[in-house]
Amino acid sequence: MAQGKSGLDGIWRNDSDSVRIRVAPCGGQLCGTVVQASTKAKADAAAGGTLQLVGTQLFSGFRRGDDGLWYGRVYVPDIGQEFDGTIDQVDRDTIVGKGCLFANFACKSQTWRRVAGAQK
């Protein structure tokens, strides 16, 4: 169930705080949409073909698996491609998003931290 009990709802930032996303229910699943981005992050995304980074869904269609991980699609704006991905909630304020080219091959992870005091 995505709504309320996911523990993931809220605003999250990457480690460099160049991108912030809002994780929220979307159609019975979870999605993460960019709500703030640095000038460099916007330029990198534009070079990859994503002209409007703010408003772009980086996480889409995530559903909780029996193993506690969340499974869905991860969009990488710097290269303009989408991959199968997982979200692992390490603790209340830390998640790790991982996208893989296929199966568990050619994967990249990114840590996201909850923004304290940010409105959902």
Is the whole-model pTM more than 0.85? yes
Question: Minimal CA–CA distance to 18: which of 42, 51, 46, 50?
Answer: 42
Q: What is the average pLDDT score of the chain?
A: 91
Note the pLDDT tens digit of each residue in 35-80.
Answer: 999 999 999 999 999 999 999 999 999 999 999 999 999 999 999 9
Residue 3 has pLDDT above 50, yes or no: no
The full set of domains in the chain, from first to last, is 10-114 (2.40.128.520)
Dihedral Cα 14, 18, 9, 33, nearest 10 deg: -120
Token pair in block for residue 59? 């996480």
Question: Minimal CA–CA distance to 26: which of 53, 70, 1, 61?
Answer: 61
